[in-house]
């Protein structure tokens, strides 16, 4: 749109928002509003306590029923939940542990981001990359939010329909993810407390995946943008030596600037910050696809199959995201 300029915040604001809901401040930047640290610590503490509580309950459920064949479907699904939660925690911890390196990476990217000048932004095609990044943001985060909402509220909505509309007698209230609990929550108000704790844990685990993956998407998209600009600059480089008195010196100065620009892009910080989360993503998503695929061969009900299909699509989308951006970055580097 005429007069519209993209900013660095346009690429990074959504990942930062999801990190803040976890209680994590991923990096420090003067262009982002500072959230009071005490609020972040409180949110982080509550999320971690609830997440570890849910993880422990899931683990106990697997240990108690592992040797009972009649619970094979529930065990396989709970193992998928355990893997999902564990990877979410490790991805968040990896980014938090390497905050200093991420600060350096963000500062470097922000320093070379195209200025709010029409010609410069057009040369970099910033609006194109911004829209492409936003499309991936909306698609990926939307898919995972649909996943967590479906898994979190399907059980209770199904119970409400059967109990209040169909008037099915003696219907037992179920939990969205696992039935184990330190207390007896049946037929009392604590059922809703336990239910909300599981929903909160599911949101925390899902947001851990979303925030890390969107951060990788935002950084990778900007790197591709810069490499494409560098490739274009080299392809359109006009040699002035021989045509102007000081053309040789101008050529060297221009090439020196491009080399310095290139060296800024070849930073190992991105790999050191996001390398472990990417590896965990790929390994666990592959394992979850196998677990979910096995369950879908067992002749389950239609509603359970739909939930499993949604889980499988989410796992495959994470694998695709890794492969797509890796290939995109390699292609952009290889162009020059």
pLDDT tens digits, residue range 4-40?
789 999 999 999 999 999 999 998 887 787 788 889 9
Q: Which of 1-10, 219-228, 250-259, 317-326 has the lowest mean pLDDT?
A: 1-10
**Buried/exposed 178-205: b ≥16 CB within 10 Å, e otherwise:** bebbeeebeeeeebeebbebbbbbbbbb
Nearest to 278 by CA among 332, 215, 331: 215
Q: How confident is the model at residue 226 (pLDDT cuts 50, 70, 90)?
A: very high
| H helix and E strand count, the chain | 10, 0
Q: How confident is the model at residue 266 (pLDDT cuts 50, 70, 90)?
A: low
Q: Where are the domains of the chain?
A: 8-334
Model pTM score: 0.89
Q: How confident is the model at residue 235 (pLDDT cuts 50, 70, 90)?
A: confident
179/57 Cα distance (integer angstroms): 9
């Amino acid at each position: 749109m005429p007069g519209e300029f993209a900013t660095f915040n346009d690429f990074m604001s959504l990942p930062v928002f999801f990190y803040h809901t976890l209680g994590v401040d991923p990096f420090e930047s003067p262009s982002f509003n500072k959230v009071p640290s005490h609020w972040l610590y409180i949110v982080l503490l509550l999320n971690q306590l609830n997440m570890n509580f849910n993880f422990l309950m899931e683990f106990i459920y697997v240990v108690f029923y592992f040797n009972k064949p009649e619970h094979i479907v529930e065990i396989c699904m709970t193992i998928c939940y355990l893997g999902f939660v564990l990877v979410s925690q490790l991805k968040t911890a990896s980014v938090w542990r390497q905050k200093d390196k991420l600060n350096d990476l963000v500062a470097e990217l922000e320093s070379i981001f195209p200025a709010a000048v029409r010609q410069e932004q057009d040369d970099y095609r910033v609006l194109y990359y911004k829209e492409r990044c936003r499309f991936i943001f909306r698609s990926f985060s939307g898919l995972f939010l649909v996943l967590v909402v479906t898994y979190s509220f399907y059980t209770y909505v199904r119970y409400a329909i059967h109990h209040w509309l169909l008037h099915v007698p003696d219907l037992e209230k179920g939990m969205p993810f696992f039935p184990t609990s330190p207390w007896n929550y049946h037929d009392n108000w604590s059922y809703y407390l336990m239910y909300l704790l599981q929903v909160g844990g599911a949101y925390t685990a899902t947001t851990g995946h979303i925030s890390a993956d969107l951060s990788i998407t935002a950084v990778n998209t900007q790197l591709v943008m810069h490499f494409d600009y560098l490739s274009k600059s080299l392809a359109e480089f006009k040699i002035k030596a021989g045509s102007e008195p000081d053309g040789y010196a101008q050529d060297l100065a221009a090439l020196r600037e491009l080399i310095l620009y290139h060296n800024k892009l070849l930073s190992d910080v991105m790999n050191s910050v996001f390398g472990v989360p990417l590896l965990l993503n790929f390994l666990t998503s592959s394992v979850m696809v196998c677990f979910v695929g096995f369950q879908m061969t067992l002749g389950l009900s239609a509603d359970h199959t739909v939930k499993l299909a949604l889980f499988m699509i989410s796992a495959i989308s994470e694998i695709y995201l890794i492969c797509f951006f890796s290939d995109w970055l390699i292609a952009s580097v290889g162009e020059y």
